[in-house]
Amino acid sequence: MSDLIINRRPQPDSSLPVFSQVSEVLARVYASRGISDLEQLGRNLKELLPDSGLKGMDAAVERLIVALEKRESILIVGDFDCDGATSTAVAMLGLRMLGAAQVDYLVPNRFEYGYGLSPEIVEVAATQNPQLLITVDNGISSISGVERAHALGLDVIVTDHHLAGSEIPEACAIVNPNQPGCEFIAKSTCGVGVIFYVLIALRRALGQRGWFEKQGLAVPNLAELLDLVALGTVADVVPLEQNNRTLVYQGLQRIRAGRARPGILALIEVSGRHKEKLVSTDLGFALAPRLNAAGRLEDMSIGIECLLSEDYDYARDLANTLDELNKERRSIEQEMQQQALQLLDQLQLDEQQLPWGLCLFDEGWHQGVIGILASRIKDRVHRPVIAFAPGENGEIKGSARSISGFHVRDGLDAVAAKHPGLISKFGGHAMAAGLSFPAESFKAFCEAFDNEVKRQLSEADLQQQILTDGELNANQINIRLAEELREGGPWGQQFPAPLFDGEFALLQQRIVGQRHLKMVLMDPTSGLALDAIYFNCDTQLWPNEGISRVRVVYRLDINEFRGQRNVQLLVEQLLPR
């Protein structure tokens, strides 16, 4: 790992009267994240941005109304990650709530068809005789897929959030906050958020036409879908700006009150969490990986069926299957990570010699896990990383993860522009992307990608930095503050959970659960002894009985064991002093 620089966030004025409702520590945390009014936390659904700003919404709603009135067969075409699964479930459930007579879904198997509305998946869809296809969490790059659908007499509504390329599909409607000309402010809305907005607009239009009275239907409460929206939003690691915080907060409130889907409650149970205390990090690190495991290793329909199930016992059976798949995924990932690190060691390169844009490939790697592998290696070497695995027809598939300062999807676009024909296809976000090309082009691509990263970044960008919220004194390290910080979110991407740093004496250290470092630390000023745990530590470095003083970057947490509750430090970084 590159040397780590620990910096503390600037401390703006946290003495505003509005902050009198919270502790000095939380006020400081909020102020450093740009919060000057507690309404900016996004706790109220009334503060949700109106759907009127979304380009293409009117056309999408009009086509959906036709589908409902004519009782057309609607087919949802989803994606094989957690955002895709929750988007598919929200579309299915929401359209049924609004009176759709025939609605079903289809998710491409990543190993057979790859991502998105491809011409091949349109052919599969056509066998189900739909009149309307609706993409969720995909479609903005499906030019040929939409063309094939039109040739087969199928209309397509695209709902997506990925960045558009130079050409967009000729769909009958496109709803995507990131399409050219869309003025919707919340560009970070993910796939499940987009389809939720479509349903809101559709419900309003149907109400204005007297649809529900004519059909003998109660006007549905679409807030019942917010548990799914919250899960997909957190899982896709989109920025938790105010609008997304509203969606996530409201979804968490439903879950905590026990008003969640049976499938979500079952996933909470198998992951060992408690619904009453669930927070956004639980969605991201406990529930989402179990759903994603299905799409990575087998078929995401297992996860979607879990989310759609109305029967808790059946949902729990599916959740147990997802849990087993996640264990298998972790085992595969750990083996691949070890192989990747060995590959780096074989290269015998130090930090100065490593490519700035690092590409890794192994014939034995599993394409369903390369995204996680790229993320793990990126965290270790702090530079853009693409991990590749064998694909179909002589191609290899890559999954990219980036660092701040390098927009990886735009970087791939620049490579493609400079080297026409080098990349077969690509797409993604600022921090994550996917691509494919012929295996024989690997060396040429590695060089082109490295050059593009070097063109955009400086050596300072490759220096890993971590921002903390400063130091806590011994009087502040207590259960009351830990609970306040836990409830102060939802925390997430670009609205990070409070992180503190300080120097401590290291009194005890031992490995538990094979890879976790359990410690007892002592505050040198007060003599206060504190429990701490460092998950997934480098066991080649720790424990180290020769170290008695450490600098710790940590989150304040509560450990509950056998009815006892104690404050605990969740260690993010551990540095000898």
Mean pLDDT along residues 68-97: 97
Q: Which CATH number do you get for residue 232?
A: 3.90.1640.30
Please name the residues in contact with 346: beta carbons below 8 A apart, sequence gap of 6 or more. none
**C-alpha closest to that of 305 among 110, 93, 75:** 93
Residues 26 and 157 in one domain: no
Angle at 272 between CA 267 and CA 277, to 5 degrees: 90
CA distance 273 to 478: 22
Per the CB < 8 A criterion, the answer to whether 392 and 381 are in contact is no
Half-sphere exposure of 190 (CA within 13 A, CB side): 32
CA 285 to chain centre: 10
Confidence band (pLDDT; 50, 70, 90) for 111?
A: low
Q: How many helices (H) and strands (E) does the chain have?
A: 18, 17
Q: Give the pair of three-digit tokens for residue 405.
A: 């300062």
State pLDDT tens for residues 398-425.
999 999 999 999 999 999 999 999 999 8
What's the pLDDT at 191?
97
User: Each residue of 438-458: pLDDT tens digit?
Assistant: 999 999 999 999 999 999 999
Q: In this structure, what CATH number is given to the domain that contains residue 411?
A: 3.10.310.30
Q: What DSSP element (H or E) covers 8?
A: strand 4-8
Mean pLDDT, to the nearest integer, of 88-106? 97
Q: State the Cα–Cα distance between residues 221 and 224, nearest whole angstrom.
A: 6
For the chain, what percent of residues have pLDDT higher than 70? 98
What's the mean per-residue pLDDT of the chain? 94
**382 and 435, same domain (yes or no):** yes
Q: Which of 25, 1, 84, 464 is nearest to 303 (CA)?
A: 84
435 vs 296, residue with greater confidence: 435
Least confident of 41-45, 113-117, 273-277, 530-534: 113-117
pLDDT for res 401: 96
- Give the number of residues written for the chain: 577
pLDDT of residue 4: 85
Report the distance separating Cα 189 and Cα 161, nearest Å: 7
Q: Which pLDDT score is estimated for 529?
A: 96
Domain ranges, residue 383: 349-462
CB 479 within 8 A of CB 558: yes
Q: How confident is the model at residue 380 (pLDDT cuts 50, 70, 90)?
A: confident
Please indicate, yes or no, if residue 44 is contained in any of the structural domains. Answer: no
Q: Any residues with CB less than 8 A from the CB of 315 and at least 6 apart, and which?
A: 261, 262, 263, 265, 266, 306, 309
Report the SS3 class of residue 563. coil
Q: Tell me the three state secondary structure of residue 413.
A: helix
Q: Is 31 part of a structural domain of the chain?
A: yes
CA distance 498 to 322: 31
Mean pLDDT of 548-562: 93
Same structural domain, 205 and 75: yes
Q: Which H/E stretch holds residue 374?
A: helix 370-381
Q: Are residues 161 and 134 in the same domain?
A: yes
- The yes-or-no verdict on residue 1 having pLDDT over 50 is no
Last residue of a domain, one of 412, 447, 462: 462
Distance separating alpha carbons of residues 419 and 137, to the nearest angstrom: 29
In angstroms, the CA 6 to CA 44 distance is: 35
Question: Which residues is 549 bridged to in the sheet?
Answer: 505
Burial of 290 (0-12, 13-18, 19+ CB in 10 A): buried
Residues 219 and 359 both lie in one domain: no
| Identity of the amino acid at 5 | I
Q: Confidence band (pLDDT; 50, 70, 90) for 472?
A: very high
Q: Assess if residue 45 is contained within a domain.
A: no
* Same domain, residue pair 130 and 73: yes
Please list the residues that pair with 83 across neighbouring strands: none
pLDDT above 50 (res 70): yes
- Residues 223 and 353 both lie in one domain: no
For residues 253-274, give the mean pLDDT: 97
Instruction: Please indicate, yes or no, if residue 329 is contained in any of the structural domains.
Output: no
Question: Measured between alpha carbons, how far is residue 496 from residues 206, 338, 465 in Å?
Answer: 39, 29, 14
Between CA 262 and CA 275 the distance in angstroms is: 12
Separation CA 289–CA 133 (nearest Å):
28
* Structural domain includes residue 439: yes
Last residue of a domain, one of 420, 436, 462: 462
- Cite the DSSP H helix spans in 3-140: 24-32, 57-69, 82-97, 119-126
**Considering only CA atoms, which of 492, 534, 542, 56 is closest in space to residue 251?**
492
| 68 and 206 share one domain | yes
Residue 41 to residue 467: CA distance in whole angstroms = 21
Same domain, 110 and 259: yes
Instruction: Examine residue 54 and state whether it is found in any structural domain, yes or no.
Output: yes
Residues 366, 335: Cα–Cα separation, whole Å: 11
Pick the last residue of a domain from 462, 491, 524: 462
CATH code of the domain containing 13:
2.40.50.460
pLDDT at residue 352 above 70?
no
Number of domains into which the chain is organized: 3
CA angle at 127 for the pair 121 and 129, rounded to the nearest 5°: 110
Q: Tell me how far apart the alpha carbons of residues 151 and 294 are, in angstroms, rounded to a whole number.
A: 32
**Band of pLDDT at residue 429, cut at 50, 70 and 90:** confident
Which two three-digit tokens encode residue 368? 């369903």
Whether residue 42 is contained in a domain is answered as no
CB 378 within 8 A of CB 395: no
Predicted model pTM: 0.91
- Does 310 share its domain with 374? no
- 535 contacts: CB under 8 Å, gap ≥ 6: 515, 516, 570, 571
Residues 534 and 449 placed together within one structural domain of the fold: no
Same domain, 150 and 283: yes
Burial of residue 102 (number of CB atoms within 10 Å: 0-12, 13-18, 19+)? middle
* CA gap 571, 552 in Å, rounded: 7
Rounded CA gap, 146 and 133, in Å? 9
Q: State which amino acid sits at residue 563.
A: G
In a domain? residue 506: yes
Averaged over 294-317, what is the pLDDT? Answer: 95
